Amino acid sequence: MTVAFVIFFLLILRIGWIQFVQGAELKESASRQQTLNKIISPTRGAIYDVNGKALAVSASVDTITINPSKFIKKGAAETKALQEKVAKGLSDIFSLEYETVLKQVQSENSVETIIKKVEQDSVDKLKKWMSDNKITSGINIDEDNKRYYPYGTLAAHVIGFTGTDSQGLYGIEHKWNSVLQGTSGKIVTTANVNGKEISDNAEQYVEVENGSDLYLTLDVDIQKIVEKYLKEGVDKYKANAGSAIVMRPSTGDILAMATYPSYDLNTPFTLNIEENKDNKTEGEEKELSSEEKSKLLAEQWSDRNFMRTYEPGSTFKLLVASTALEENITGVNVPGDFTCKGSIQVSDRTIKCANSKTHGAQTLKQAVGNSCNSAFIQLGQRIKVNTLYKYFKAFGLFDKTGIAITGESGSTFHKIEDVGPVELATISFGQRFEITPLQLITAVSSIANDGKLMQPRIVRQVVNTDTGTEQEIETNTVRQVISEETAKSVREMMKYVVTDGGGGNGAVKGYSIGGKTGTAEPSPSRPEDGYTVSFVAIAPAENPELVILVAVYKPSGVNPYGSTVAAPIVSKMLSEILPYMGIASENSDSSGATTSTIKTEKLPDVTNKTLTEAKKTLENLGYKVVCEDTKNSNSILVTEQVPLKDTEVLDGATVVLYTEENTVRTSVTVPNLIGMTLSEAKQKLSEKNLNVSYSGSGKVVSQNVADGVSIEQGTVITLKLE
């Protein structure tokens, strides 16, 4: 009896200890064990070109995690067997190192991540294995997203890429990461001893906020043209690298921006050995230290257009000439204004003219056409450094452009107090200082834009994928740098360079082109860099709709001049870009139809296909697809499409899909397109999910549906151009 009383008394004491001393701690521990947190990963926003073609998209994948405590049994032998079974199963299914996985299974951490970005077929294998082995808890399959880049290497340096954690690391992906990534959601509920959810009223739901989509100013088709001929030129002249930019001067929009060699965004950490001439051979790559490989990767990812600087050479003479005209220091056609004897003495230096030619007496126009260093040294001496630097600042050369991509570099100029006679001379013809190609084309675009400097724009719209809210990124006029009259005079001189001067290789049959060549010697401190040759062009010369700059770094096997290397590359690019943009040529027939037309094609029939299959078919053909997302995309059928099958549409047209679940029509208001180029009209209609057909060339003079009228998305608007 006494023994029973003692046992009862001790039991009461134990219950009291648990209840009053350990109660709070045990309650919290139980809550932690019974609380099941499910993280809902947001879908990262997509990146599209100006016409809605996908440049970066996210696909649903899964992340596999484990709770090691769930694999601990009562006996040590039983625990060991279970842990080894789990480690063997996971390592086999996902091709992982067994010993590494076993350490994770035996970890004391509450959660261990086994693998991220798992495709569906591997997930299906895991689920079957868990079912076969009767493992119901401890292995978690959490929804995640994987980044894909449909065009691989296209515009790689602009778009950038993400890491394994879906964080942007370079380019647009990095600069706009906070907009693209969204915010994770969470479901908090309770679970039983086996990890199964318990249905109750205590479930909490934190809604996921998906990332917003970005629409760029880039045009995939123009980007393809630029990259094709840039690669061809760099390979032909066995150069180290090349860079190119196409800009719309009236808005500052970047239509294309390329650096070659490039790399594949889907495998960014793989060295592009075949294309990168500075990299090691494939056999040597395996012997690279991690530091060496990191350095080569950084070079591979670096965009030469805005992340690196260069000496612009004689293309810079356009800005010096603009300064002289604006300050009334000279005129375009003053007879005998400059004298060239093949070289000029500056302080203790003898500086030779381009090609060591003797140009004799020249006007400013002739000096620009001849790219005469002697004449521009004389011009710089007249302008003086204080005035030159005032205009360089006005052209934006002392500041970064502010383009919305990570990693922009600034320029390197002599301090104004350090500019002596020799420095003033070399600055006047574009050497011994460094700027970025983006800074130069932005400045030249102000000449094309009647003297107004525009900030470069690469992102034009942000679309909230949850609400559909659209935010336009407005164009930004920085300042009026030179007068409209001065800008017109400089454009006339640029046209003269192509028709009568040293830029003849930049001509395009049927079009009026203005341009300027550039050939920069290597800096005395870096002779290994070799020459940098370039060509900047405006088209059409009288009323420019685009400016293009191509630079080729360290060409070999030819006389390294911008006129012989870079100008022909620009000519080839423009010969395809101008007709594509619908810019009228001098080869138009009497009806106004140009000899080069934009490609049209018949729309395929995707009705009676699943929504997933229909979208894939259309997107693979380059069309922009508009439809309401549904969880049943793999089974629900498309019932109607707009435009209908066999409709003649332009490349990159918008197709609106309707399904059994989504039959609601959406109407949009037709914009006023009169006075726009075909390219501008296409962009405006694409923003409204409308399509275009056209006749003629030049600018829009009529449209078959008046502005302000509400019509269904996907409708084709017919335009007449003259």
Residue range 425-451, pLDDT digits in tens: 999 999 999 999 999 999 999 999 999
Looking only at the bridges linking them, the beta strands covering 112-118 and 54-66 are antiparallel
Q: What is the pLDDT of residue 693?
A: 86
With a cut of 50, say whether residue 595 has pLDDT above it: no
Strands (DSSP E) contained in 325-371 are: 338-340, 343-346, 349-352, 360-362
Q: What is the pLDDT of residue 214?
A: 96
Q: Are residues 147 and 12 in the same domain?
A: no
Q: Is residue 291 part of a domain?
A: no
Q: Are residues 338 and 372 in the same domain?
A: yes
Among 161-175, 231-245, 691-705, name the most confident range. Answer: 231-245
Confidence of residue 282 (pLDDT cuts 50, 70, 90): very low
Q: Is residue 103 part of a domain?
A: yes
Q: What is the pLDDT of residue 498?
A: 96
Confidence of residue 523 (pLDDT cuts 50, 70, 90): confident
In terms of Cβ atoms closer than 10 Å to its own Cβ (0-12, 13-18, 19+), residue 466 is middle
Tell me the pLDDT tens digit for each residue of 128-175.
898 888 888 888 887 667 788 999 999 999 999 998 778 899 999 999
Q: Is residue 235 part of a domain?
A: no
Interatomic CA distance for residues 512 and 386, integer angstroms: 36
Number of domains the chain is built from: 4
Q: Are residues 569 and 437 in the same domain?
A: yes
Tell me the pLDDT tens digit for each residue of 291-340.
899 999 999 999 999 999 999 999 999 999 999 999 999 999 999 999 99
Interatomic CA distance for residues 253 and 461, integer angstroms: 12
Q: Is residue 269 part of a domain?
A: no
Q: What is the pLDDT of residue 122?
A: 84
Q: What is the pLDDT of residue 593?
A: 37
Residue range of the domain that includes 54? 35-162+178-216
pTM: 0.73
Q: Are residues 627 and 495 in the same domain?
A: no
Interatomic CA distance for residues 657 and 172, integer angstroms: 30
Confidence of residue 39 (pLDDT cuts 50, 70, 90): low
Residue 566 and residue 533 in contact, taking contact as beta carbons nearer than 8 Å: yes
Q: What is the pLDDT of residue 496?
A: 95
With a cut of 80, say whether residue 697 has pLDDT above it: no
Q: Are residues 464 and 340 in the same domain?
A: yes
Q: What is the pLDDT of residue 587?
A: 54
Q: Are residues 644 and 711 in the same domain?
A: yes
Q: H or E element: which one contains 216?
A: strand 213-216
CA trace torsion 610, 613, 618, 622 (10° rounding) = 150
Q: Is residue 280 part of a domain?
A: no
Interatomic CA distance for residues 512 and 245, integer angstroms: 20
Q: What is the pLDDT of residue 4?
A: 66
Q: Are residues 479 and 530 in the same domain?
A: yes
Strand partners, 550: 244, 535
Q: What is the pLDDT of residue 393?
A: 98
Mean pLDDT, the chain, whole residue set: 87
Q: Is residue 114 part of a domain?
A: yes
Crossing angle of the two packed helices 317-326 and 373-383, in degrees rounded to 10: 40
Q: What is the pLDDT of residue 278?
A: 46
Among 43-52, 179-188, 413-422, name the most confident range. Answer: 413-422
Supply the CATH number for residue 689's domain. 3.30.10.20
Q: Are residues 27 and 94 in the same domain?
A: no
Q: What is the pLDDT of residue 621?
A: 79
Tell me the pLDDT tens digit for each residue of 628-678.
767 677 778 888 989 988 888 887 789 999 988 887 888 899 999 998 888
Interatomic CA distance for residues 340 and 147, integer angstroms: 59
Q: Is residue 63 part of a domain?
A: yes
Q: Are residues 95 and 23 in the same domain?
A: no
Tell me the pLDDT tens digit for each residue of 166-197.
889 999 999 999 999 988 776 555 555 555 55
Ranking 27-36, 55-64, 173-182, 287-296 by mean pLDDT, the lowest is 27-36
With a cut of 80, say whether residue 40 has pLDDT above it: no
Interatomic CA distance for residues 178 and 176, integer angstroms: 6
With a cut of 60, say whether residue 583 has pLDDT above it: yes
In 3D, which of 644, 651, 581 has the Cα closest to residue 622? 651
Q: Are residues 533 and 656 in the same domain?
A: no
Q: Are residues 647 and 527 in the same domain?
A: no
Q: Is residue 247 part of a domain?
A: no
With a cut of 90, say whether residue 526 has pLDDT above it: no
Q: Are residues 22 and 49 in the same domain?
A: no
Supply the CATH number for residue 40's domain. 3.90.1310.10
Among 75-84, 538-547, 603-612, 637-646, name the most confident range. Answer: 538-547
